[in-house]
């Protein structure tokens, strides 16, 4: 019996234009709510952005934001894990010396941070993904915050290489997971979506085999392996398809909604 549903956002729940069929989802959600099925947004995105996307019900649902570093259940913080400041600063200094690293975004609880001299195109993209965003003169001037992750964009085709490189050059103190294409999220080792979901499930007394999860990319693998009912999107990366038990239609076809309707709206 399914008692909780976790969904990734980009490439999974959202279409390529970052939209979703809101009313269709809200109708399904009301059915799930009546059946006491928990709904969890499990994403690498900033918590503030995720709340905007689900604004009609944001106070009713749960979030595993920042790739699982921040866990919120109906406005109550369940868990927040962050980098040790020396590790954060050392990692940023290493990244600045790597020419393949084109852009850096440091993500904290209060805000995300970029540099004032970053290109305008990157600033606009950052403003879209991070509603809470500050420009600073340099990362040496980061304010006091709890830092969940470092997002980097690397030169084309370098994503896989950097996933292996980051743990090596940081002596295992930083893990790297794919955020899609050549974007990488650098995270505290072990603080992934599956770890966040385990905390929520334990909080509710729900077992992993009662969890349904949807994902499409490298940062979804642990979550897909955890869930008893795991769906990779038909547009997903080969590793996600391999990790999941089932295949859902593509994100462009609202595949998540199709599967949820089949499971919850039919009886």
- Catalytic site positions: 8
Phi-psi category of residue 67: left, alpha or beta, with phi > 0 → left and psi -120 to 50 → alpha: left
**Calpha distance 51→75 (Å, rounded):** 10
Residue 86: Cβ-neighbour burial (10 angstroms; 0-12, 13-18, 19+): exposed
Span between the terminal Cα atoms of the chain, in Å: 14
Count of positions (residues) in the chain: 267
Burial of 39 (0-12, 13-18, 19+ CB in 10 A): buried
Distance (Å, whole) CA 74 – CA 62: 6
Q: Note the helical H segments in 35-71.
A: 47-53
Which residue carries 């009609």 as its tokens? 56
DSSP 249: P
Which tokens in the block code for residue 155?
A: 């030169």
């Amino acid at each position: 019996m399914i008692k909780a549903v976790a969904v990734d956002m980009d490439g999974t729940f959202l279409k390529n234009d970052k939209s979703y069929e809101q009313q269709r989802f809200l109708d399904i959600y009301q059915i799930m709510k009546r059946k006491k099925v928990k709904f969890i947004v499990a994403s690498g995105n900033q918590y503030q952005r995720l709340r905007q996307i689900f604004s009609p019900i944001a106070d009713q649902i749960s979030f595993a934001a920042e790739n699982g570093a921040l866990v919120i259940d109906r406005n109550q913080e369940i868990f927040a894990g962050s980098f040790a400041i020396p590790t954060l600063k050392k990692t940023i200094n290493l990244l600045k010396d790597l020419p393949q690293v084109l852009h850096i975004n440091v993500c904290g609880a209060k805000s995300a941070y970029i540099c004032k001299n970053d290109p305008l195109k990157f600033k606009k993209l950052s403003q879209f993904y991070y509603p809470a965003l500050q420009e600073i003169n340099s990362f040496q001037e980061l304010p006091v915050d709890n830092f969940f992750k470092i997002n980097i964009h690397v030169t084309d085709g370098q994503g896989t290489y950097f996933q292996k490189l980051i743990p090596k050059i940081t002596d295992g103190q930083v893990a790297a997971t794919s955020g899609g294409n050549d974007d990488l999220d650098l995270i505290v080792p072990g603080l992934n979506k599956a770890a966040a979901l385990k905390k929520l499930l334990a909080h509710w007394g729900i077992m992993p085999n009662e969890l349904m999860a949807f994902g499409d990319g490298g940062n979804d693998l642990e979550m897909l392996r955890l869930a008893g009912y795991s769906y990779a999107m038909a547009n997903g990366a080969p590793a996600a398809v391999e990790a999941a038990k089932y295949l859902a239609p593509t994100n462009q076809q609202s595949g998540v909604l199709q599967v949820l309707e089949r499971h919850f709206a039919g009886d």
